[in-house]
Amino acid sequence: MKKLMLLGRVAAGKTTLTQALRGEEIKYYKTQYVNYLDTVIDTPGEYTERRETSGALALYAYEADVVGLVLSANEPYSIFSPCLTSMVNRETIGIITGIDKPDANVERVRRWLQLAGCKKIFPVSSITGEGVADLAAFLQEKQPKKSVRKTKKPQTKQVSSVQKTLDTWLL
């Protein structure tokens, strides 16, 4: 299973989503520090909101296979900058939480996550369970193996012809 790191502002639903993904009873508690769980890294919203601590999240991202940008479906604005995913060297997905809320605007939040650079976006409700299985199935998918390219040996003819050219110029 891919390890997921959740980033989002305070009260975006990161911890509730973590509980839903792990099949736990949903109960509120305030995340005070970065929680390394078996398949999820749950981060405090303050780390994302504050410039002083947001840089630390880049280091935590090295521990994850996938970074999830979390926005609630009723957010008044996006905390994520356009093209943000270009600075992350991990697969980055968008997660829209709280799609069951009466004031949810899923399409607006989807556009914000697309602007941030997310190619895959998962609308979920941790309370009703809608969409959680789709996200869990994505995390269960096998990761492609990283191929290691073999380096070619330098071609001696090219090196020697370059060397001869340099020798004639220098003489």
**pLDDT given for residue 54 in this prediction:** 78
pTM, entire model: 0.83
Kindly provide the residue ranges of all beta strands, DSSP E only, lying in the chain, ordered along the sequence: 4-7, 35-36, 40-42, 66-72, 91-97, 121-123
Residue 155 in any domain: the answer is no
DSSP helix/strand/coil, 115: helix
Domain tally for the chain? 1
> Which residues have C-beta within 8 Å of that of residue 94, sequence separation ≥ 6?
68, 69, 71, 110, 113, 114, 116, 118, 120, 121, 122
Mean pLDDT of 98-117: 98
Tokens of 83: 């093209």
Residue 64 in any domain: the answer is yes
C-alpha span between 105 and 164 (Å, rounded): 69
Kindly provide the residue ranges of all beta strands, DSSP E only, lying in 49-159, ordered along the sequence: 66-72, 91-97, 121-123
**pLDDT given for residue 156 in this prediction:** 53
Residue 13 in any domain: the answer is yes
Residue 89 in any domain: the answer is yes
Residue 73 in any domain: the answer is yes
CATH code, domain carrying 77: 3.40.50.300
**pLDDT given for residue 43 in this prediction:** 96
Residue 43 in any domain: the answer is yes
Mean residue pLDDT across the chain: 89
Higher pLDDT, 171 or 95: 95
Residue 48 in any domain: the answer is yes
DSSP helix/strand/coil, 58: helix
Tokens of 132: 């959680």
Mean pLDDT of 86-99: 95
The whole domain housing 89 covers 4-143
**pLDDT given for residue 153 in this prediction:** 57
Residue 154 in any domain: the answer is no
Q: How confident is the model at residue 78 (pLDDT cuts 50, 70, 90)?
A: very high
Q: Which has the minimum average pLDDT: 68-77, 134-143, 145-154? A: 145-154
Is pLDDT at 114 greater than 60 in this prediction? yes
Q: Which has the minimum average pLDDT: 48-62, 105-119, 134-148? A: 134-148
Is pLDDT at 53 greater than 80 in this prediction? yes
**pLDDT given for residue 91 in this prediction:** 96
How crowded is residue 48: how many other Cβ atoms within 10 Å of its Cβ? 21
Percent with pLDDT over 70 in the chain: 84
Q: Are 117 and 109 in contact (CB under 8 A)?
A: no
